[in-house]
Amino acid sequence: MEPLQTSKERKMNPWSRPTAAAAQPQARTVDQGLRSYMLKVYNYMASGVLLTGIVAYFAANSETLINAMYAVNAQGQMSPTGLGWLIAFAPLGFVLFLGFRLQHMSYQSAQLAFWGFASLMGLSLMSIFLTFTGESIARVFFITAAMFGGMSIYGYTTNRDLTSMGSFLIMGVWGILLASVVNIFLGSSLLHFAVSILGVFIFLGLTAYDTQKLKSTYYQFSGHGDMLAKSSIMGALSLYLDFINLFIMMMRLFGERR
């Protein structure tokens, strides 16, 4: 019979579980707490995606917002105005701000910041409803949801440590961002296609990595109610960004233009 771990050992290794038969009731309690925590994260994430979609849809059907954010160029194509470019890049600045400040906010402030970010992202994604058909948006959304769900389940259930993969994937995100900015000026369809393909794999990998990281976060802050509550919002933000970016990459590849 293996000896029970001390509380100090469990604190040093948040991934460990009590292995003795006598510890099974405690393990069951921890697992129930983890399931409750993950459900809270997924609820926040799904609500954020829903809010983003609603804002994007209504913004795309508002002539006032369309005229403020887009102008028709000499070739008869819609191009962003100054306000359009500002809103397009605003979510990046917002998410960097949240990454640094969220842990210092109150739980209520963190909630408001999350909903505000989801709304701002909706404004920046209104172009999807202007560019692609509604049928293809719906189709790609459900495909994306299935892919996201599968990778999140993998991240939750796998015994493989995905930590080493995380740094590589995050570097890939910055590479995609840089390539996308460069391609604004180059207008290369080949680079656009390559970035989209690479982006799908990177954000699928990040979905699994971020899901597994949430389990570690739960064990780290279990027993600290306020920190655990705020970490659920930060975790929801991570999964939200994985889903939204995966959806964007899939739309670039499989969306049908109007």
| Three-class DSSP category at 71 | strand
- Per-residue confidence (pLDDT) for residue 11, from 0 to 100: 40
What is the spatial distance between Cα 106 and Cα 102, in angstroms, rounded to a whole number?
A: 8
Mean pLDDT, the chain cut into blocks of 10 residues (258 residues total) = 42 39 45 88 96 95 89 73 86 82 82 92 92 94 96 93 86 88 84 91 95 90 79 93 95 90
Record the tokens describing residue 241, joined without a space. Answer: 């960004």
- Per-residue confidence (pLDDT) for residue 76, from 0 to 100: 63
- Per-residue confidence (pLDDT) for residue 74, from 0 to 100: 65
DSSP-assigned states of every residue in 89-142: HHHHHHHHHHHHHGGGS-HHHHHHHHHHHHHHHHHHTHHHHHHB-HHHHHHHHH
- Per-residue confidence (pLDDT) for residue 150, from 0 to 100: 96
DSSP-assigned states of every residue in 139-163: HHHHHHHHHHHHHHHHHHH--S--H
- Per-residue confidence (pLDDT) for residue 30, from 0 to 100: 52
- Per-residue confidence (pLDDT) for residue 75, from 0 to 100: 65
pTM for the model stands at 0.83
Query: Residue 86: which residues within 8 A CB-CB, separation 6 or more?
Result: none
- Per-residue confidence (pLDDT) for residue 93, from 0 to 100: 85
- Per-residue confidence (pLDDT) for residue 1, from 0 to 100: 41
**Under 8 Å between Cβ of 246 and 176:** no
| β-pair partners for 70 | 80
